Amino acid sequence: MTRRFVRYWLPVLAYVGLIFVVSAQPRLRPPVSFHNADKFAHVIEYGILGFLLVRARRGDGPTRDPLGDGMFALAIGLAVGASDESFQAMVPGRESSVRDFLADGCGLVLAQIAWLNVRR
C-alpha cells in the first residue's frame, strides 16, 4: 500500500465500515434526545464522511477544480447513504427512511461548503 492511500483513503474506508457497523445495531437510538435528534445525527455522521471524501480526493493530487472534487465527494457519499438506508431496512428494529437519506445529503453538502470556505 502506498502512503497516500493509507493517509487519505484508508480513513474513508474505515469510516464507511463504522457507518455500517453502527447501522447493523438493532433498535439503535441517537445518543441525545430531542425532536429530530436522529436527523441531526445523520447530518453530523455524513458531514464527517463528506469531509473525509473530499480530503481523500484532494490528497490524490491537487486539482484545479475544487467544485468537481466536492461533487465527487457528494456523489460517493450519496451512494454510501443510499446503501446504508437499504441495509438498515433489513436490520430488525431499524427502518429505512427517505428523510434520513435527505439528512445524509445535507451533511454531505454542508461538509463541501465548509471545505471550500476553509480551503480559500
Chain segment 46-89, per-residue pLDDT in tens: 999 999 999 999 887 766 788 889 999 999 999 999 999 999 99
C-alpha triplet 29, 79, 8: angle, nearest 5°? 90
pLDDT at residue 1 tops 70: no
Q: What is the pLDDT of residues 18-43, one digit of tens each?
A: 999 999 999 888 878 888 889 999 99
- Alpha carbon separation from 3 to 33, 55, 74 (Å, rounded): 41, 15, 25
Res. 95 pLDDT band, cuts 50 70 90? confident
pTM exceeds 0.85, yes or no: yes
What's residue 67's pLDDT?
87
Specify the long-range contacts of residues 66-73, CB closer than 8 Å, at least 24 apart: 66/115, 66/116, 66/119, 67/116, 70/112, 70/115, 70/116, 73/108, 73/111, 73/112
